[in-house]
Amino acid sequence: MNLQDSISTLKGIGPKKAEAFARLGISTLEDLAFTFPRLYEDRRNVISISELKEDENAVFTGTVDIIKPVGYSRRSGKVLKMLISDDTGSVEVVFFNAYYLSKSIHIGDRLTFFGKPQMNRGRMQLVHPEFSRESEAQTGILPIYPLTKGISQREMRKLQQTIRTVYADAESILNPETEKRNNLCDIGYAIENVHFPEDGTKLREAKYRLVFDEFMVLQTGLQAAKADQGSMTEGARFNNPGAEQEYIDSLPYSLTSAQERCVKEIAKDLESAKRMNRLVQGDVGSGKTAVAEIAMYKAAKCGFQSVMMAPTEILAHQHFEGFRDGLGKHGIKVGFLTGSMKAAKKREVLSGLKDGSIQVLVGTHAVIQPDVEFKKLGLVITDEQHRFGVNQRILLKEKGENPNILVMTATPIPRTLAVVIYGDMDVSVIDEMPPGRLPVHTRCAVDEKARGKVYDFAERQISQVKQVYVVTPLIDESEAMDARSAQEVYDQLSERFERVALIHSAMKQSEKDEIMADFSDGKIDILVATVVIEVGINVPNATVMIIENAERFGLAQLHQLRGRVGRGSSQSYCFLIQGSDSELARKRGEIMEKSNDGFFIAEEDMKIRGPGEIFGTRQHGLPDMKLADMVRHIDVLNTARDEAKAILADDPGLLKPENSKLKNRVKKLFGDDFSLNL
Ligand code: ADP
Ligand code: MG
């Protein structure tokens, strides 16, 4: 047996099984060895029957004294009971709809049970416990693996047992010095103990090693991708101190002091020889776009082009219109680029970028396509809500010679993670709202009757020439039963209201644009939408946001959606219609009613959902980790980061033989289209 062997060489793995394993990404024994348990079940504590306690998971072995069908329950079909005993006592075990068991199990058989006893009429009883014959029983700490259709837990465990002898052949991807410096256990030992841990200490040691390895690969890749991105690099220099002031003076409002501070920080970066690498964090509506606009103005006045990448077409288009008005007044030409554009129009934009006649470009990820060439790109801005991957940002950056970088986000990111995701960025925070904003009043509603009242309220607002959003979650067919689709809501509203429109992600861009334009111009009173409006769009006259099936959105997302209203000077309202009145739904509702503070809400969201959900690697277009979790293992992450830096400093292209395995793993993890300096 060899780690490179195909799993088909194992007994019991035919073509069909092999296919099922392929779905889990497993084709070799090595893949199998690196398929780690998700959880463990502690079955070390084998007790006698007299020690069984109500509601406590237990493992025990006993002899079948009685096994008999005892009749029929309407809910559960035929009932089978066994009486199991050992030297210390006996306990009843009940199975529903399992007459077939009486064929294979006989009086006198020795069985091992895993389950939680319940009291029933004064007697201890186990209902449907897991069990096996004593001879086949697995006790100890049992691994629980991720599975797919066609592969059972038992089978996976058995296969792991089968290949257990070759775990030790796994080769370390780290050089011996790194292992030593970080007190890492041997890789073979780690694999053995992550599958079959003898105790908690060994499991921890094992996990540490494996998590460390994963982070080493991730961090080495990121460092290699960022090697030319360090803050010491020279960047495009905008040598026009104060040029932004004439633009600021032309704005119809004065900047908040937070915006002013942020603009100053950006201007200083842009004027210096050092390339800017800055993250702007600010709650929805805090005026990040205005700050970006000012930076683009400064770039243009210095002869540089700017590009802004937005996560959705609608948002990109809205930015485009805003910039065309604002920057256009100053003679700056603004271009727009998306994937769905007509070829002729696109060619025109591309040539404008190449000859430099277009100074500012706004678009979706279309702006990173290879055919997009700039004459003199000096500023790259991404407006994102965690939607762009690290790699997309790098591709965009490569369109210029060391362009300055500005990333805008409405989600507060813990500093430690920002470093991983964005590299060594400087951070500016806009922690103040433009004046005159009234906090949005938020109310939760649960049932049909409440929905009627919400619609009554919307009607009154419409009669005051205000506008209304209704947002529904994106649902697929199978869920259609329990969530209201946009279409359904639209149909219902259309019976009652006149000027209602529906917008959803499957629509053509031109249709969406038309509807958005009509809504913007006040020709539509109620806009029913799936989450396409989640980010960024700006219609200050809209004062009501109704969110259907609010329980399906994350809190941070609800906050984003709510940020679509309250953008003008009138009082705005948000109604969360919950399809559930569970404890959790209520708690979430309370948080939303109580707070308008995105940072607070994000924190609460993190408490409820767990940080991994929100800051997972995949969220950021980074390769998937198996065991490693950027939040839970932040200390390991930081250590690995330093180690990766040290290794790359010593051996930039990872050319030394002792680093070749690491290099291969990095290349494999990041794939071909991730540009690495390796
Ligand atoms: P963000 O991108 O942070 O969500 P925007 O830049 O879209 O916020 O700003 C939201 C709205 O506030 C826009 O209509 C913008 O014109 C307006 N705005 C921005 N800054 C100010 C300010 N200092 N005073 C008044 N209104 C502002
Ligand atoms: Mg914005």
Q: How far is the CA of 646 from the centre of ligand 1 (A)?
A: 43
Q: Which ligand is nearest to the CA of 284?
A: 1
Band (pLDDT 50/70/90 cuts) for residue 514 is confident
Q: Which ligand is nearest to the CA of 291?
A: 1
Kindly report the number of other CB atoms within 10 A of residue 424's CB atom.
Answer: 12
Average pLDDT score over residue span 126-133: 91
565-620 per-position pLDDT tens digit: 988 889 999 999 988 878 888 889 999 999 988 878 877 877 776 555 555 555 55
Ligand 1 atom at shortest distance from the alpha carbon of 288: 3
Ligand 1 atom at shortest distance from the alpha carbon of 290: 6
51-63 per-position pLDDT tens digit: 999 988 899 999 9
Q: How far is the CA of 600 from the centre of ligand 1 (A)?
A: 21
Ligand 1 atom at shortest distance from the alpha carbon of 287: 6
Q: Which of 142-146, 350-354, 579-583 has the highest mean pLDDT?
A: 350-354
Q: How far is the CA of 383 from the centre of ligand 2 (A)?
A: 7
Report how far residue 219's alpha carbon sits from residue 630's, in angstroms, rounded to the nearest whole number.
11
Q: Which ligand is nearest to the CA of 437?
A: 1
First to last CA, the chain: 33
Residue 619 to residues 367, 559, 601, 614, 675: CA-CA distances in angstroms?
21, 18, 19, 7, 19
Ligand 1 atom at shortest distance from the alpha carbon of 284: 4
User: Which protein residues have a CB closer than 5 Å to ligand 2 (ion)?
Assistant: 289, 536
Q: Which ligand is nearest to the CA of 289?
A: 1
Kindly report the number of other CB atoms within 10 A of residue 504's CB atom.
Answer: 18
Check residue 427 and give its pLDDT. 84
Check residue 75 and give its pLDDT. 65
Q: How far is the CA of 388 from the centre of ligand 2 (A)?
A: 15
For ligand 1, atom 24, the nearest C-alpha belongs to: 434
Q: Which ligand is nearest to the CA of 536?
A: 2
For ligand 1, atom 15, the nearest C-alpha belongs to: 287
Q: Higher pLDDT residue, 538 or 25?
A: 25
Report how far residue 516's alpha carbon sits from residue 626's, in angstroms, rounded to the nearest whole number.
42
Check residue 312 and give its pLDDT. 79
373 has a pLDDT exceeding 60 = yes
Q: H-type helices in 59-181, by residue range?
A: 101-104, 153-163, 176-181
Average pLDDT score over residue span 328-346: 93
Least confident of 113-127, 187-201, 454-468: 113-127
From 289, 319, 323, 437, the mutation candidate for ligand 1 (largest count of ligand atoms within 8 A of CB) is 289
Could you give the 3-state DSSP secondary structure of residue 94? strand
Check residue 393 and give its pLDDT. 67
Average pLDDT score over residue span 268-287: 88
Check residue 231 and give its pLDDT. 47
**φ and ψ of 502, to 5 deg:** -115, 135
154 has a pLDDT exceeding 90 = no
69-109 per-position pLDDT tens digit: 887 766 667 889 999 999 999 999 999 887 788 889 999 99
Helix and strand numbers (H, E) in the chain are 23, 22
397-435 per-position pLDDT tens digit: 777 778 898 989 887 666 666 667 666 678 898 989 898
* pLDDT more than 90, % of the chain: 53
Check residue 311 and give its pLDDT. 82
Q: How far is the CA of 535 from the centre of ligand 1 (A)?
A: 14
Ligand 1 atom at shortest distance from the alpha carbon of 430: 3
Report how far residue 413's alpha carbon sits from residue 84's, in angstroms, rounded to the nearest whole number.
55
What are the structure tokens assigned to 490, written together?
């639209």
Report how far residue 299's alpha carbon sits from residue 304's, in angstroms, rounded to the nearest whole number.
5
For ligand 1, atom 22, the nearest C-alpha belongs to: 434
Band (pLDDT 50/70/90 cuts) for residue 163 is very high
Report how far residue 235's alpha carbon sits from residue 232's, in angstroms, rounded to the nearest whole number.
9
Q: Which residue has the tokens 């998971």?
A: 57
Element (H, E) at 486: helix 486-496
Q: Which ligand is nearest to the CA of 384?
A: 2
Ligand 1 atom at shortest distance from the alpha carbon of 286: 3
For ligand 1, atom 19, the nearest C-alpha belongs to: 287
211-263 per-position pLDDT tens digit: 999 999 988 988 887 655 544 566 788 989 989 999 999 999 999 999 999 99
Q: How far is the CA of 288 from the centre of ligand 2 (A)?
A: 6
Considering only the C-alpha atoms of the chain, give the largest distance between any 2 of them, rounded to a whole number of Å: 94
Pocket of ligand 1 (CB under 6 A): 253, 255-256, 259, 282, 284-290, 434, 538, 540, 567
Q: Higher pLDDT residue, 122 or 474?
A: 122
Check residue 625 and give its pLDDT. 76
Check residue 34 and give its pLDDT. 94
554 has a pLDDT exceeding 60 = yes
Q: How far is the CA of 288 from the centre of ligand 1 (A)?
A: 7
Ligand 1 atom at shortest distance from the alpha carbon of 563: 4
Check residue 512 and give its pLDDT. 82
Q: How far is the CA of 359 from the centre of ligand 2 (A)?
A: 21
Quote the strand ranges of 74-181, DSSP E: 77-86, 89-96, 110-115, 118-120, 123-127, 130-133, 140-144
Report how far residue 191's alpha carbon sits from residue 458's, in angstroms, rounded to the nearest whole number.
60
Q: How far is the CA of 433 from the centre of ligand 1 (A)?
A: 8
